[in-house]
Amino acid sequence: MKPTLFAAVLAAVSIFSATQSSHAQAAEEPHTAGAVIAADKAWSVAEETGDVAFVEALLLPEYRSISPDGSVHDRAAIVASTRKATPERAAMIEKYMAEHPFDMTVAISGDTAVLTFTVKGDDKKRVRSCDIFVYRENHWHALYSQHTNAESA
Q: What is the CATH number of the domain that holds 101?
A: 3.10.450.50
Read off the pTM: 0.76
Angle at 44 between CA 47 and CA 149, to 5 degrees: 105
Residue 32: inside a domain, yes or no?
yes
Supply the pLDDT for residue 151.
Answer: 67
Supply the pLDDT for residue 126.
Answer: 72
Supply the pLDDT for residue 8.
Answer: 35
Question: Could you count the other beta carbons within 10 Å of the beta carbon of residue 145?
Answer: 21
Residue 131: inside a domain, yes or no?
yes
Q: Which domain holds residue 56?
A: 3-147
> How many distinct structural domains can be found in the chain?
1
Task: Give the tens place of pLDDT for each residue, 63-109.
Answer: 999 999 999 999 999 999 999 988 888 888 788 777 777 888 999 99
69-75, Cβ contacts within 8 angstroms, sequence gap of 24 or more = none
Residue 152: inside a domain, yes or no?
no
Residue 153: inside a domain, yes or no?
no
